Amino acid sequence: MRIDLFDKFAGVLNKANRTRETRRQETISTIKSTEPQQRARARVFSSVNILVPDTSFTTLAFDQVDFDNIGLHTSSTKFTIPSTGRVTGLWLVHGRIFWVGTLATGTFRVLNLMKNTSTVLASDAKSCVSPDQCTNDVLRYINDPQPGDSYELQALQTSGGNLNIIHEDWETYFEIIQIW
């Protein structure tokens, strides 16, 4: 009889400990699900000047990765929203270029932010007034992009000849950041 009571008490104690451990694991799981998740982000630039022919839209290639925490830079020219993981929320896509060389003043410089190669999301077109100081910037907030959507930059210039975009990483770059 005494052994039976001991066995019953031990069984109740084990059940209480298992329940306590289950509650502890559930609490840890809840806390982890409310912690800020690491946001997707990537920034790329080129190690060489990028040649842009006259009057021809050129997709820009970037061969240097400053950072890319989840593999967004899927080719030398584009960022691609992943097909797995958390992709909903607000994203920022930004590109900046700096033209170099002795440019014919009064000619146009254009930078387009493209979605899936064919849709212009943002464009910056300007007439350069100084031959050595011409930049273009494009920025777009994107809410809930679709998995597989890709983003790239295209440049155009109308100087009458080939022009270069400088390769310095603080002057010419392309970046994407998941805001929330």
Q: How many domains does the chain have?
A: 2
In the prediction, which pLDDT does 107 show?
78
Query: Which DSSP category does 24 fall into?
Result: H
In the prediction, which pLDDT does 160 show?
83
The two structure tokens encoding residue 160: 């009458």
In the prediction, which pLDDT does 36 show?
53
Query: Which DSSP category does 117 fall into?
Result: T
In the prediction, which pLDDT does 35 show?
47
In the prediction, which pLDDT does 67 show?
95
Q: Which residue has tokens 């080719």? A: 75
Give the residue numbers spanning the domain of 90: 41-178
pTM of the full structure: 0.76
In the prediction, which pLDDT does 39 show?
87
- 79 shares a domain with 9: no
In the prediction, which pLDDT does 3 show?
60
For 77: left if phi > 0, alpha if psi spans -120 to 50, otherwise beta; the answer is: alpha
In the prediction, which pLDDT does 104 show?
60
Going by C-beta distance under 8 Å and a sequence separation of 6 or more, which residues neighbour residue 125? 108, 109, 110, 111, 136
Question: pLDDT in tens for each of the 180 residues of the chain?
Answer: 556 655 665 565 565 555 666 655 655 554 444 445 578 999 999 999 999 998 999 999 999 999 999 999 999 999 999 988 888 899 999 999 998 865 565 578 999 999 999 999 999 998 876 656 688 999 999 999 999 999 999 999 988 888 889 888 888 999 999 998
- 118 shares a domain with 102: yes
User: Which residues, listed in sequence order, are joined to residue 136 by a DSSP beta bridge?
Assistant: 97
- 52 shares a domain with 10: no
- Dist CA 66 CA 39 (whole Å): 16
In the prediction, which pLDDT does 167 show?
87
Residue 88 burial (CB count, 10 A)? 12
In the prediction, which pLDDT does 22 show?
66
Which has the closest alpha carbon to 65: 151, 176, 155, 147? 176
- 128 shares a domain with 45: yes
- 139 shares a domain with 104: yes
Residue 145, SS3 per DSSP: coil
In the prediction, which pLDDT does 170 show?
86
Handedness of CA 160, 153, 110, 115 (dihedral sign): positive
- 119 shares a domain with 163: yes
Contact of 153 with 59, CB cutoff 8 Å: yes
- 82 shares a domain with 16: no
